[in-house]
Amino acid sequence: MLLEHKYAIIYGAGGSIGAAVTREFAREGVKVFLAGRTHEKLEVVARDIEAAGGSVEVAVLDALEEQAVDEHALAVVARAGSIDISFNLITRGDVHEIPLVDMEVADFVRPVTTGITTAAHLE
C-alpha cells in the first residue's frame, strides 16, 4: 500500500467528495481522522472504512473555529505521533447558477472568506 502507516485528517469528510477521498486514503493504508460538523455523515463514512478493515476516528468540529482545529490536531498528534496529510474539503458555501451581476455581495464573498479562513487554520 502506497501510504501505509501515514496519518491524515480529512476536514469535510462527511461530504460526497470528502467521503470518497477519505475512503481512498484508507484503502491505501492511511489511518484517517475524519473531521466535520455532522456526526451522522461522518459515522457513515467511518463504518464503511471499518467494514473494509481500515483504521478511522471521528471528530465533530467546525474548521472555521481555530481553537477547535488546533485542539483536534494536537489530540491527533498525541495519539498518532504525527499528521502526514491534512486535506480540506469543507463546504465553502458557493452559490451557483446566478450571474455575478445578480449575486448578493455576501454570497460572492462567503466562499472566498471561508477558504482563506480555513486555509489559515489548517496550516
Angstrom CA distances, 16 to 12, 44, 56, 58, stand at: 9, 11, 17, 16
Are 17 and 36 in contact, with CB atoms under 8 Å apart? no
pLDDT tens-place string over residues 60-107: 999 888 999 999 999 999 999 999 999 888 776 678 888 988 889 888
pLDDT tens-place string over residues 15-25: 999 999 999 99
The reported pLDDT for the residue numbered 123 is 61
How does the average pLDDT of the chain come out, rounded? Answer: 89
Domain boundaries, the chain: 7-121
Whether pTM > 0.85 for this model: the answer is no
Which residues are CB-contacts of 4 (< 8 A; sequence separation ≥ 6)? 28, 29, 30
The reported pLDDT for the residue numbered 108 is 84
Asked: is 7-121 a CATH 3.40.50.720 domain? The reply is yes
112: which 3 cell numbers?
A: 472566498
In terms of phi and psi (left: phi > 0; alpha: psi -120 to 50; beta: otherwise), the region of 81 is left
Could you give the percent of the chain with pLDDT greater than 70?
95
Task: Evaluate if residue 121 carries a pLDDT over 70.
Answer: no
User: What is the C-alpha radius of gyration for the chain, rounded to an integer number of angstroms?
Assistant: 16
